[in-house]
């Protein structure tokens, strides 16, 4: 049987009139990499802060490792590693000193700490930057330092709140691989992000949030099965008469057809040979076309279908 590591029951958090968390429920099991996916302002950080008892909340119960979480649950806090959305390091301390400081809040044995700090430095690949001050680090390296500060004490539960914001793809991949390695070494991970690709790549289970509510939950395959979209077909066509568009839209399994900026985008649900049928129609009307590609549904499609809006603008 899997053990529940985190259980959030009926959590309500208000900021004045704004309901940041609206009867939010969550259960995370031992050994998972749990993704909390949601657009900006959906309440991810608020959830994490409530979970860690940093914020008081209006209603609800939070249990971690089967025990009620309170601001003074030091035995629980000891086992948690936190990587905050805002980088929290001392500008006045070097990379090494920063990691040592945060590790030292948990581990007082000096020899053990030295070893842990070294391991953390190696883990995030900051070996050449031990004596650097945070101000001298690039954005990606700073994020890695932030992560090292959170995981140096080898916690059983690691919470990462958007650790890859403003990080270049190379650094990002390194971070994601690192998280998977931590998980393989036995840590349960909670990962929040508004980048669906990241969540798809590493998370074993995902909850999608919107406006303080959980709108869907499951593995990525389960989530994709929840929606009718199974395939999106895109065809570049210079000119498409409205009559033809109507004919294409009328084909079986195609539930949505759009022609914008010389691109015909078709959403299909189920069925086989959808692409062949579409191309047949174009042939019949002797219409030439450019590139053709099909995509399997993404979590963005899931979010789009459930909430009626895109998870985020094309690229930010």
Is 234 a binding residue for Mg ion by CB under 5 A? The answer is no
Phi–psi pair at 85, nearest 5 degrees:
-65, -40
- By C-beta, is 47 or 49 nearer to other proteins? 49
Please state, in angstroms and rounded to a whole number, the distance separating the CA atoms of residues 236 and 128. Answer: 48
Contact partner, 42, from Mg ion, other proteins, ligand ATP, none, Cβ < 5-8 Å per class: ligand ATP
Is 42 a binding residue for ligand ATP by CB under 6 A? The answer is yes
- By C-beta, is 28 or 266 nearer to ligand ATP? 28
Terminal-residue alpha carbon distance, the chain: 41
Please state, in angstroms and rounded to a whole number, the distance separating the CA atoms of residues 207 and 26. Answer: 8
Is 164 a binding residue for ligand ATP by CB under 6 A? The answer is no
CB of 189 to Mg ion, least distance (A): 17
Is 85 a binding residue for Mg ion by CB under 5 A? The answer is yes
Is 19 a binding residue for ligand ATP by CB under 6 A? The answer is no
Pick the stretch among 38-46, 129-137, 139-147, 241-249 that binds ligand ATP (CB under 6 A).
Answer: 38-46
In sequence order, what are the beta bridge partners of 210? 213
Of 151, 148, 153, which Cα lies nearest the Cα of 134?
148
Measured at the CA of 260, the angle between CA 258 and CA 262, to 5 degrees, comes to: 115
**Tokens 């050994």 -> residue:** 31
Binding mask 26-65 for Mg ion (x = CB under 5 A): ------------------xx--------------------
Helix (H, G, I), strand (E, B) or coil at 90: coil
Q: Footprint of ligand ATP on this chain (CB under 6 A)?
A: 15, 18, 20, 38, 40-46, 85, 162, 194
């Amino acid at each position: 049987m899997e053990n529940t590591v985190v259980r959030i029951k009926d959590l309500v958090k208000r900021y004045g009139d704004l309901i940041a968390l609206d009867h939010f429920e969550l259960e995370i099991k031992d050994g998972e990499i749990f993704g909390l996916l949601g657009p900006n302002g959906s309440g991810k950080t608020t959830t994490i802060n409530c979970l860690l008892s940093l914020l008081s909340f209006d209603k609800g119960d939070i249990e971690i490792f089967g025990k009620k979480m309170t601001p003074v649950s030091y035995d629980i806090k000891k086992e948690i590693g936190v990587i905050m959305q805002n980088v929290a390091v001392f500008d006045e301390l070097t990379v090494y000193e920063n990691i040592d400081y945060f590790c030292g809040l948990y581990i007082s044995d000096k020899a053990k700490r030295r070893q842990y700090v070294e391991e953390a430095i190696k883990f995030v690949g900051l070996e050449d930057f031990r004596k650097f001050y945070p101000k001298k680090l690039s954005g990606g390296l700073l994020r890695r330092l932030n992560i090292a500060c959170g995981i140096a004490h080898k916690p059983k539960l690691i919470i990462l709140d958007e650790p890859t914001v403003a990080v270049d793809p190379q650094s990002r991949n390194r971070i994601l691989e690192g998280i998977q390695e931590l998980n393989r070494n036995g840590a349960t991970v909670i990962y929040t992000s508004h980048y669906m690709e990241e969540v798809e790549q590493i998370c074993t289970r995902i909850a999608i949030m919107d406006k303080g509510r959980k709108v869907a939950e499951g593995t990525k395959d389960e989530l994709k099965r929840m929606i009718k979209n199974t395939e999106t077909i895109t065809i570049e066509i210079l000119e498409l008469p409205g009559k033809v568009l109507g004919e294409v839209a009328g084909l079986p399994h195609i539930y949505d057809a759009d022609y914008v900026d010389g691109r015909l985008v078709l959403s299909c649900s189920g069925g086989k040979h959808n692409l062949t049928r579409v191309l047949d129609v174009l042939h019949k009307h002797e219409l030439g076309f450019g590139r053709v590609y099909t995509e399997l549904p993404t979590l963005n499609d899931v979010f789009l279908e459930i909430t009626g809006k895109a998870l985020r603008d094309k690229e930010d």
